[in-house]
Every structure is written in C-alpha cells, then in structure tokens.
Amino acid sequence: MPIIDLQPSFLVRPRLAPTESIRSLLHRLAVQNKLPLSMLGQPGRLGEATQIACELASAADWDRSELIQRAASASACESDQSDTCLRIGTALLGKRCVVGLQRRICPLCLVSTTWTPIDWEIRQNDACHIHQCMLADKCSACGASIAWLSHQHACDQCGLAWSNFEVRPASQLSSTFAKWTHSSVVMALRGIQRDGHSKNNGVRLEKLLLMLEVLRCEVLRQWLSPKLWADFGHVWSIQLLKDSDYRSWLWSEMFLHAAKDPMTLKKRCVRRDLYS
C-alpha cells in the first residue's frame, strides 16, 4: 500500500460552475493555486486549453466527460472531429462562433463571482443576460484588451479590477439575444433539443446561431446598404427572430426546403409577403 501519493494534485480544486467554460475553469485553477500562468500555455487558445484541462483532470478532480462539453475544442479530445468544431453540451459549433484570445466580461457579475460563463464566449452575444449591460473586452480606463490569464482579475496594464470597469447599458435587442443565448446554452448542456418552431424562448444553440447568421449575412445584406448593414444588420436580425411566426417560417424555409438546394437559400429566405 503506497504511503505517499505520487499522483500530482492541487491544493485548491475549483468545481465547474453551472454554465462555466473550460477556459474559465482552467484560469481559476491557476489563480487559486497561485501557479505560474505560463505553465498553462495560452489558455485563450481553445485547443490548447482543452488539452491542458483534460491532462490535469484527474489531478484537479474534474470529470473529463463533463469538461469536454464546456466550449471545448472537439478536435483536441475526439480524434474523429474536424478541427473547426467545438462542443457545448449536445451542440457542435464552428470555432468562429466563439471569441478567440479576447476574453469578455460583465463587470457587475464579477463583483460577486470569479468564473465566466460560456454565454460570454459566444461571439454573436454581446451582453450579460442578468444585468442587461454590454460585455467588456477592453479596460475602460486604459483600453488594454482583457487577457485570458490575469492573476488579479484585473487589467494587466493599469491594474483596474475587472469588477470596476465602466458599465455600459445594453440595448433591448442585445439583452434579448443574451437571454436567448443563455437559455440555449443551458438547454445544450442539459441535452434538451428544441427546434426553430418552438414558441418558447429556447431554440437549439446551433440552430439559433445559424438562423441569426442566415438573416444577417444572406437576407439583410441584400436589403441594406453596406453602411446600414454594418450598423444594424445584427440587431435587425434579432428583431426579425423575435417574431415567433417569422422564426418558424424561416426555420421551415431553411431546413425543409433550402437544405435540398443550398444555392437557392438567399431567394427562399426573402419573404415576399412582407412587401405585398
């Protein structure tokens, strides 16, 4: 019987918070154990963070199968997946759906907590669904980008605590989309599948993001001038998706018809009755 446990372990072993991402968990492990952050490589890089977290799983007492569902790189842990995918619960998304090296935070949430949720890493979501304020990706005092690794949860350049960053209110539509994103992330983590016909708030995460992108990039891009599209393409897409009849109709066009012939997607997704 071994007297000394040679298995490396950590003094503090943070538990996964309800919607926490793998990168946030890895960061907390480093901060709470006062580890040199350099030993974690570049945790902003999804593939690298996933590999490191999986390797540390048994020492940190983490459930590996749960870890790899937390906005983790699918290719880093499942060899049969394309390297463009990441996994959030039952949802598989393209990597461009999440922010890369740039971390984003809600200053008000970080007054009482140190973990950051998957919702804030979804690129299309720019607000906190609880406080209805914009997510910050830069220090409000000096403008430096927020780094994934920071020992103090503070700006690396001027030392301003993340929780003291200026709070900017979010628009109604950004707040609405933040709520949708949150409920879709929760559903994906719980393995609940609901399609675009659902009248409830809560569409499968990958479908929600796809509908938003089709509206923004295929439909509104045709309707609007480049300047208007750049300024309003995102929020007007959310406005259209708020109408459950429109959402349901778009869903049918995209998935029941256009799937047969993707080249006609643009034509099909312009609803003629809106102009008649």
Q: How many CA atoms lie within 13 A of 165 on its CB side?
A: 28
Q: Which of 17, 92, 130, 224 binds Zn ion (CB under 5 A)?
A: 130
Nearer to Zn ion, 30 or 170 (CB): 170
* 259 lies in the binding site for Zn ion (CB under 5 A): no
State which of positions 9-68 bind Zn ion (CB under 5 A).
none
We find the least distance from the C-beta atom of residue 170 to Zn ion, in angstroms, to be 10
We find the least distance from the C-beta atom of residue 139 to Zn ion, in angstroms, to be 3
Nearer to Zn ion, 134 or 220 (CB): 134
Nearer to Zn ion, 12 or 158 (CB): 158
d(CA 72, CA 95): 10
Q: What are phi and psi of 196, to 5 degrees?
A: -70, -10
Distances (CA, A) of 66 to 50, 69, 96: 12, 6, 22
The H or E element spanning position 72 is strand 70-73
Q: Which of 30, 31, 128, 189 binds Zn ion (CB under 5 A)?
A: 128
State which of positions 100-119 bind Zn ion (CB under 5 A).
106, 108-109
Nearer to Zn ion, 84 or 157 (CB): 157
Q: Which of 45, 131, 138, 266 binds Zn ion (CB under 5 A)?
A: 131
Q: Which of 31, 139, 173, 210 binds Zn ion (CB under 5 A)?
A: 139
Size of the site for Zn ion (CB under 5 A): 14
Nearer to Zn ion, 107 or 233 (CB): 107
We find the least distance from the C-beta atom of residue 126 to Zn ion, in angstroms, to be 12
**DSSP state for residue 127 in the 8-state scheme:** B
State which of positions 141-200 bind Zn ion (CB under 5 A).
141-142, 144, 155, 157-158, 160
* Two structure tokens written together for 87: 């996994």
**Residues with Cβ within 8 Å of residue 108, at least 6 apart in sequence:** 128, 130, 131, 133, 163, 167
Nearer to Zn ion, 19 or 237 (CB): 19
Contact 168, 105 (CB under 8 A): no
Q: Which residues pair with 87 in a beta bridge?
A: 72, 92
Burial 103-131 (b: 16+ CB within 10 A, else e): bbbbbebbeeebbbbbbbbbebbbbbbeb
Q: What does the binding site for Zn ion look like in residue numbers (CB under 5 A)?
A: 106, 108-109, 128, 130-131, 139, 141-142, 144, 155, 157-158, 160
